[in-house]
Amino acid sequence: MAQRAVARSMAVKKRRQERPLKSLWRRIRKPLAQSRFVKNMLASGMAIALRIVERTNPRVEGSQDVDARFAEIGPAIVALWHGQHLLAPAIKPRRHPLVALFSKSADAELNALVAEKMDIKAVRGSGGREGKARLKKGGAAALIQLKRAIEAGSNVAMIADIPHGTPREAGLGIVTLARLSGRPVVPMAIATSRRKVLERTWDKTTINLPFGRCAVVMADPILVAADADDEEMEAKRRQLTDALNRVTRDAYRLVDGHPPYPDRDGR
């Protein structure tokens, strides 16, 4: 009993000591998050970390050459899944310019800064939503900027699924850009054998770790006709969804020997 009383007393004392620290953190975290200097420091550190991960994960046999592919078909629109895209800035084509779409959320601002430090131009807006929601998020303006970038010869990267929507389900935004620009969508997946999956996140965010193996897999380009009607747009959206899921499974097969995401019929 005496030992339990001592343990409880120590626990209470520890909590009291922690409270001032927690209180201090609550007071300073918002100013830190708003500090351009702090955000630039964090972005620089993250860019260095991504380069280290990329360089310590040699490509496995069967992985595709990004530069060779985009030299052949560019400019093109790269499609990636949320949560599986974190290493993409380090995998980008090295000899071809790239513009990437980032949402206007505070969380995405840091990601945009990281991309810019890795020689990727950032466009802010929402490319996946439809109707008024997309307009409020700056989606129409973002699509116009991306179209202009393509016309100027840049490749474009977009996340295909909608933030906090249905994971692994493509939205119409990226299909709309393909229709407007006349350029193909290239579904791409990146996987590493060493990784940390944040299971509680909506998109199962995957943090790639160093000293493993890496696979980059791309599907055949998807073209959308300039006069595509609603039915054709929906068909292309489903085609993109299926292709992205397939290359994701293939990338994980290459590094693991089995896919982490089963087909919809459970196989």
Q: Which residues lie below 8 Å from residue 256, measured CB to CB, with a gap of 6+?
A: 191, 193
CATH topology of domain 47-256: Glycerol-3-phosphate (1)-acyltransferase (3.40.1130)
Q: Residue 3 is encoded by which pair of tokens?
A: 């030992």
The model's pLDDT over 222-263, given as tens digits with 9 standing for 90+, comes to 999 999 999 999 999 999 999 999 999 999 999 998 655 554
Which stretch of DSSP H or E encloses residue 32? helix 2-34
By residue count, the chain amounts to 267
Q: What are phi and psi of 79, to 5 degrees?
A: -110, 130
Query: What is the C-alpha to C-alpha distance for residues 177 and 156, in angstroms, rounded to an integer?
Result: 10
Whether residue 7 has pLDDT greater than 70: no
Instruction: Write down the pLDDT at residue 24.
Output: 54
Confidence of residue 157 (pLDDT cuts 50, 70, 90): very high
For the whole model, what pTM was predicted? 0.81
- 10-61 pLDDT per residue, tens: 554 555 554 665 565 566 555 655 677 888 898 999 999 999 999 999 999 9
Q: What is the pLDDT of residue 265?
A: 36
2, pLDDT greater than 60: no
Nearest to 123 by CA among 153, 151, 148: 148
In this structure, which amino acid lies at residue 235?
A: A
